[in-house]
Structure 1
Amino acid sequence: MKKEELFERIKGKVIVSCQAVPGEPLYVEEKSIMYLMARAAKQAGTPAIRTSSIRDVVAIKEETGLPVIGLVKIKYDGFESYITPTMKEVDDLVAAGSDVIALDCTDQKRGDGKSISEFITEVRTKYPEAVLMADISTYEEGIRAWKLGMDIVGTTMSGYTSYSPKLDGPDFELVKKLSSELDIPVIGEGRVHSPEQAVQMLDAGAFAVVVGGAITRPLEIAQRFIKAVEAR
Structure 2
Amino acid sequence: MLIPKGALIVSCQARADNPLHGPIFMSAMARAATAGGAAGFRANGAEDVAAIRAISTHPIIGIDKVWDDRFPVYITPNFSAAARIARAGADIIGVDATRRPRDGEPVDQLIARIRQELGREVFADVATLEEGRAARAAGATYIATTLSGYTEETAASRDAGPDLELLSVLVAIGEGPVVAEGRFDTPQLVAEAFKRGAHAVVVGTAITNPREITRKFVEAAAPWASAPNDDAS
CA contact (8 A) 1:52 1:73 kept: yes
Corresponding position: 1:53 with 2:45: yes
* Cα distance in 1 between the residues matched to 2:82 and 2:106: 17
User: Larger radius of gyration, structure 1 or 2?
Assistant: 2
Indicate the residue corresponding to 1:72 in structure 2. 64
Corresponding position: 1:136 with 2:130: no
After superposition, the C-alpha distances for 1:62-94 in whole angstroms (9 at most, x for unaligned) are 112222111111213522101011111111111
* Cα distance in 1 between the residues matched to 2:223 and 2:165: 29
* Cα distance in 2 between the residues matched to 1:228 and 1:108: 36
Q: Which among 75, 92, 95 is matched to residue 83 of structure 1?
A: 75
Cα offset, 1:231, TM superposition: 5.0
C-alpha change, 1:65 and 1:120, in structure 2 (3 Å) is: closer
Cα offset, 1:197, TM superposition: 0.6
CA contact (8 A) 1:154 1:187 kept: yes
Cα offset, 1:122, TM superposition: 3.5
C-alpha change, 1:168 and 1:229, in structure 2 (3 Å) is: farther
Question: How many residue pairs get matched?
Answer: 222
Cα offset, 1:204, TM superposition: 1.5
Amino acid aligned to 1:126: E
Amino acid aligned to 1:160: Y
Corresponding position: 1:158 with 2:153: no
Runs of 4+, deviation exceeding 6 Å = none
* Cα distance in 1 between the residues matched to 2:171 and 2:187: 20
Where does the alignment leave 5 or more consecutive residues of structure 1 unmatched?
A: none
TM-score of the pair, normalised by structure 2? 0.89
* Cα distance in 2 between the residues matched to 1:119 and 1:215: 31
Indicate the residue corresponding to 1:120 in structure 2. 111
* Cα distance in 1 between the residues matched to 2:132 and 2:97: 8
Q: What's the Cα RMSD here?
A: 1.6
Corresponding position: 1:110 with 2:112: no
Greater CA drift, 149-158 or 56-65: 56-65
After superposition, the C-alpha distances for 1:94-145 in whole angstroms (9 at most, x for unaligned) are 1112111100101221134x43233333433423x31111011111111110
TM-score of the pair, normalised by structure 1? 0.90
C-alpha change, 1:231 and 1:157, in structure 2 (3 Å) is: farther
* Cα distance in 1 between the residues matched to 2:115 and 2:31: 32
Amino acid aligned to 2:8: V
Q: Identical aligned pairs, as a percentage? A: 37
Amino acid aligned to 1:26: L
